[in-house]
């Protein structure tokens, strides 16, 4: 292709003369106005000149909206996401035959004229006058490119898009003004490349690379002559000449392009005849984009990543800025998701609870010490069909999730940590009868809760006295009611806040009431996994992170949210909690969740009427929280068919515990087993 060097800028008077030669003629013609040339110039010249000269000098082209890719921690593609399917490529990656085909059908004198083709205008006028209608336009490729830029700037605002496409005198003035500027500042080859990258080719494909992949499943550099001619023909009307829906018209248009190419010498007549004889052979790659295309249950994590970009100030000061970043796309988003851990988690949740069950199994896995979310999934498929959902049950409503779940006794280690931080010995004993009134207590605001109601244990045979380790292992409610009262609701709530629990999943305030110790607040698996990761990390809490790096289309990087790791309890307190939670899986309610070949610690949780069951736990390498809950009202899990088995009586250890166990074992398979740090606990009967 000829290479046109930038020309020195023309004087304002010269530019205006060029403008007068075609602005009213081409603008009026394109708009279908029957204006006498002399009359149009006489009446409109002054105002047109003022409009022309008052436009800003610099034509600003927005970054083109492109597809973004989301990758897992190993570099595997999770999903491609976009507002517009486009991949911007340099000119050398576009087949020369494609460039020739477009020029020959749209503006064959592109390399001979400037921003305005006066010869083309006169030709169009003569033809339109002869036909008595507007049958031919006179816009150059440069003008068409400018119009496409206006459409791109309109984004997804349909009203703005229609305005950008209106063929009015004012709009033509803008197109001409900026086309003149572009011709003075950019080589012709670059204008053509820009045009091929911005224009719409139908079937959701923007730009030549996406179009080549959509219709033929090839890159733009590999397009053949018949393929290039077909795509060039689409530009005039992507819907009318769509080869997927109207092959006959598409072939007619393609053959017209081939004949034009022969007429203008880009190919020989023999090449044109040979190409015309070739039937249209499509190899359509249907557009597959968005989190719904993710495999192995990664759709929910993908959606979470999307929402981080839209909500975290690291990606833009305002919501509008963040939305613009996402819409422009072209991002390479690298995440913390481990494919091995994700596969193990997904296999576990879907084997222990079937997609068609009324109950769903939900789980998150995080890495202690880094806050990295390494897996996230649920037994419901991501989508809008039967037995599918787009609600990510691992997180709260703000991040595309639900209202959370009461956590049951998985909250008790938080109470224990608050008590230990206040100086209470793990040997502290309470009578802990089967049933007792709730002790009196007060919150940070001074609200008091007098002795009232009743708290009882899960079994009438479960009676004290108990010290903290045994009470934790057996999940003794009456023990923890007294421990909470002596520690103080205020200190318990402050510990919860320090561990990232500041509100309920639906956004409502945390209910700081006596039943706090029994897990009456609605929280999420991700929150609880992170709480237990803090115990594994010797009392250092890290905010959860899902994104490790983001690269922009130009190769530059975008700052990503970093984990905020800070000490929220002493290492001794955290390690003491770990020691007690080791007992839970060795000899307590969590025994069904225990791992055979590595240290593990955790806690079970069962809510009122067994509507939800939990297991939250950790090894030195991973922490996770699993919940099984009816996704309807919800209903009691007892008697339901879950994972192919009828549940007699639902408990955290027997129903959620195996979900946690199988996920952890699969995620850590082949890795050396670490050792959890423990402390010496007082013996039975000791209060020291």
Tens-digit pLDDT profile for residues 505-553: 999 999 999 999 999 999 999 999 999 999 999 999 999 999 999 999 8
pLDDT band at 18 (very low <50, low <70, confident <90, very high): very low
pLDDT band at 554 (very low <50, low <70, confident <90, very high): confident
| Ranges 125-129, 154-158, 347-351: which has the least confidence | 125-129
Compute the C-alpha angle 43/45/46, nearest 5°.
95
Q: What pLDDT, on a 0 to 100 scale, did the predictor assign at position 11? A: 46
Average pLDDT, the chain: 87
Q: Report pTM.
A: 0.81
HEC assignment per residue over 271-309: HHHHHHCCCCCCCCCCCCCCHHHCCCCCHHHHHHHHHHH
- Reply yes or no on whether the pLDDT at 445 is more than 70: yes
Q: What pLDDT, on a 0 to 100 scale, did the predictor assign at position 148? A: 87
Tokens of 634: 């919800």
Report the C-alpha gap between 306 and 290 in whole angstroms. 10
Residue 45 CB neighbour total at 10 angstroms: 15
Angle between helices 339-352 and 657-667 (to 10 degrees): 150
CB 626 within 8 A of CB 361: yes
Q: What pLDDT, on a 0 to 100 scale, did the predictor assign at position 24? A: 41
Q: Flag whether 365 is in a domain.
A: no
pLDDT band at 45 (very low <50, low <70, confident <90, very high): very low
Q: What pLDDT, on a 0 to 100 scale, did the predictor assign at position 105? A: 96
Q: What pLDDT, on a 0 to 100 scale, did the predictor assign at position 352? A: 96
Bridge-partner residues for 503, per DSSP?
A: 509
- Reply yes or no on whether the pLDDT at 209 is more than 90: yes
Report the C-alpha gap between 98 and 189 in whole angstroms. 13
Q: What pLDDT, on a 0 to 100 scale, did the predictor assign at position 133? A: 44
What phi, psi does 425 have (nearest 5°)? -80, 145
Q: What pLDDT, on a 0 to 100 scale, did the predictor assign at position 31? A: 37
Q: What pLDDT, on a 0 to 100 scale, did the predictor assign at position 173? A: 76
Q: Which domain holds residue 153?
A: 12-276
Report the C-alpha gap between 473 and 588 in whole angstroms. 4
Q: What pLDDT, on a 0 to 100 scale, did the predictor assign at position 165? A: 64
Q: Flag whether 211 is in a domain.
A: yes
- Mean pLDDT over 137-161 rounds to 76
Q: Flag whether 596 is in a domain.
A: no
**What percent of the chain shows pLDDT beyond 70?**
85
Digit-coded pLDDT (tens) for 238-249: 999 999 999 999
Q: Flag whether 333 is in a domain.
A: no
Q: What letter does residue 96 receive in the DSSP assignment?
A: H
Tokens of 302: 């993908």
Shortest CA distance to 563 belongs to which of 540, 536, 538? 540
CATH number at residue 61: 1.10.3810.10
Report the C-alpha gap between 658 and 594 in whole angstroms. 9
Q: What pLDDT, on a 0 to 100 scale, did the predictor assign at position 459? A: 87
- Mean pLDDT over 652-666 rounds to 96
pLDDT band at 688 (very low <50, low <70, confident <90, very high): very low
Residue 117 CB neighbour total at 10 angstroms: 24
Q: What pLDDT, on a 0 to 100 scale, did the predictor assign at position 48? A: 44
Report the C-alpha gap between 288 and 85 in whole angstroms. 10
Chain centroid to CA 632: how far?
Answer: 27
- Reply yes or no on whether the pLDDT at 1 is more than 60: no
Q: What pLDDT, on a 0 to 100 scale, did the predictor assign at position 23? A: 43
What phi, psi does 80 have (nearest 5°)? -105, 130
Q: What pLDDT, on a 0 to 100 scale, did the predictor assign at position 156? A: 59
**What percent of the chain shows pLDDT beyond 90?**
70
* Strands 601-606 vs 612-618: parallel, antiparallel or unpaired: antiparallel
- Reply yes or no on whether the pLDDT at 609 is more than 90: no
- Mean pLDDT over 627-648 rounds to 90
Q: How distant, in Å, are the alpha carbons of 216, 253, 327 from that of 82?
A: 20, 30, 7
Q: Flag whether 404 is in a domain.
A: no
Report the C-alpha gap between 125 and 332 in whole angstroms. 49
Q: What pLDDT, on a 0 to 100 scale, did the predictor assign at position 6? A: 41
| Ranges 107-121, 394-408, 458-472, 485-499: which has the least confidence | 107-121
Q: What pLDDT, on a 0 to 100 scale, did the predictor assign at position 571? A: 97
Q: Flag whether 43 is in a domain.
A: yes
pLDDT band at 344 (very low <50, low <70, confident <90, very high): very high
393 CB-near residues (< 8 Å, 6+ apart): 300, 360, 362, 378, 380, 401, 402, 524, 525, 627, 631
Q: How distant, in Å, are the alpha carbons of 197, 311, 314, 543 from that of 319?
A: 28, 7, 11, 22
- Reply yes or no on whether the pLDDT at 42 is more than 70: no
| Ranges 50-59, 446-455, 478-487: which has the least confidence | 50-59
Q: Indicate the number of domains in the chain.
A: 1
pLDDT band at 157 (very low <50, low <70, confident <90, very high): low
Q: Flag whether 195 is in a domain.
A: yes
- Reply yes or no on whether the pLDDT at 428 is more than 80: yes
Shortest CA distance to 55 belongs to which of 180, 178, 197, 156? 178
**ω before 268 within 30° of 0 (cis)?**
no
Q: What pLDDT, on a 0 to 100 scale, did the predictor assign at position 180? A: 87
Alpha helix ranges (H) inside 370-523: 412-421, 468-474, 477-487, 489-498
Report the C-alpha gap between 670 and 664 in whole angstroms. 12
pLDDT band at 62 (very low <50, low <70, confident <90, very high): low
CB 153 within 8 A of CB 62: yes
Q: What pLDDT, on a 0 to 100 scale, did the predictor assign at position 613? A: 96
């Amino acid at each position: 292709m000829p290479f046109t060097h930038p020309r020195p800028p023309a004087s304002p008077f010269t530019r205006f003369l060029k403008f007068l030669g075609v602005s009213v003629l081409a603008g009026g013609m394109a708009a279908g106005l029957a204006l006498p040339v002399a009359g149009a110039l006489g009446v409109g010249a002054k105002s047109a000149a003022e409009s022309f000269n008052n436009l800003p000098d610099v034509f600003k082209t927005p970054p083109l909206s492109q597809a973004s890719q989301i990758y897992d921690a190993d570099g595997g593609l999770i999903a491609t996401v976009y507002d517009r399917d486009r991949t911007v490529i340099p000119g050398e990656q576009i087949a020369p035959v494609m460039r020739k085909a477009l020029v020959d059908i749209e503006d064959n004198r592109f390399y001979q004229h400037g921003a305005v083709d006066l010869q083309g205008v006169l030709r169009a006028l003569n033809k339109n006058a002869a036909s008595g209608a507007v049958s031919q336009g006179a816009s150059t490729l440069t003008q068409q490119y400018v119009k496409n830029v206006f459409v791109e700037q309109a984004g997804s605002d349909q009203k703005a898009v229609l305005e950008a496409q209106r063929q009015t005198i004012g709009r033509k003035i803008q197109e001409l003004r900026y086309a003149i500027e572009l011709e003075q500042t950019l080589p012709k080859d670059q204008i053509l490349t820009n045009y091929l990258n911005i224009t719409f080719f139908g079937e959701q494909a923007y730009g030549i690379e996406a179009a080549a992949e959509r219709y033929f499943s090839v890159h733009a550099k590999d397009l053949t002559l018949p393929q290039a001619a077909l795509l060039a023909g689409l530009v005039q009307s992507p819907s009318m000449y769509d080869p997927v829906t109207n092959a006959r018209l598409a072939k007619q248009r393609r053959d017209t392009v081939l004949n034009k190419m022969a007429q203008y010498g880009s190919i020989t007549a023999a090449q044109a005849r040979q190409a015309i004889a070739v039937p249209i052979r499509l190899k359509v790659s249907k557009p597959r984009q968005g989190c719904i295309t993710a495999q192995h249950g990664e759709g929910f994590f993908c959606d979470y990543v999307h929402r981080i970009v839209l909500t975290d100030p690291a990606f833009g000061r305002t919501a509008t800025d963040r939305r613009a970043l996402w819409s422009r796309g072209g991002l390479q988003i690298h995440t913390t998701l481990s494919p091995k851990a994700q596969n193990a988690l997904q296999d576990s949740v879907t084997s222990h609870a079937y997609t068609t069950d009324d109950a769903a199994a939900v789980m998150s896995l995080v890495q202690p010490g880094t806050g990295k979310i390494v897996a996230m999934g649920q037994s419901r498929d991501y989508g809008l069909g039967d037995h599918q959902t787009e609600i990510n049950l691992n997180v709260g409503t703000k991040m595309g999730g639900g209202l959370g779940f009461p956590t049951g006794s998985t909250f008790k280690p938080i109470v224990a940590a608050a008590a230990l931080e206040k100086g209470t010995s793990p040997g502290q004993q309470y009578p802990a009868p089967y049933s007792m009134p709730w002790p009196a207590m007060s919150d940070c605001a001074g609200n008091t809760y007098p002795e009232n109601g009743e708290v009882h244990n899960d079994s009438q045979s479960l009676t004290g006295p108990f010290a903290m380790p045994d009470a934790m292992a057996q999940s003794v409610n009456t023990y923890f009611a007294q421990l909470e009262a002596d520690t103080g609701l205020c200190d318990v709530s402050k510990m919860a806040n320090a561990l990232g629990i500041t509100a309920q999943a639906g956004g409502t305030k945390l209910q700081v009431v006596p039943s706090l110790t029994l897990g009456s607040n609605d929280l999420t698996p991700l929150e609880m996994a992170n709480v237990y990761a803090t115990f594994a990390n010797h009392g250092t809490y890290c905010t959860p992170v899902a994104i490790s790096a983001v690269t922009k289309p130009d190769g530059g990087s975008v700052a990503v949210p970093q984990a905020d790791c800070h000490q929220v309890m002493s290492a001794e307190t955290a390690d003491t909690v770990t020691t007690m939670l080791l007992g839970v899986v060795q000899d307590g309610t969590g025994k069904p969740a225990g791992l055979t070949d590595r240290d593990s610690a955790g806690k079970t949780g069962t809510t009122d009427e067994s509507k939800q069951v939990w297991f939250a736990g950790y090894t030195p390498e991973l922490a996770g929280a699993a919940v099984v809950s009816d996704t309807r009202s919800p209903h009691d899990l007892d008697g339901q068919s879950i994972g192919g088995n009828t549940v007699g009586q639902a408990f955290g250890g027997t129903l959620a515990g195996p979900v946690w166990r199988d996920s952890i074992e699969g995620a850590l398979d082949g890795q050396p087993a670490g050792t959890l740090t423990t402390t010496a606990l007082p013996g039975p009967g000791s209060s020291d």
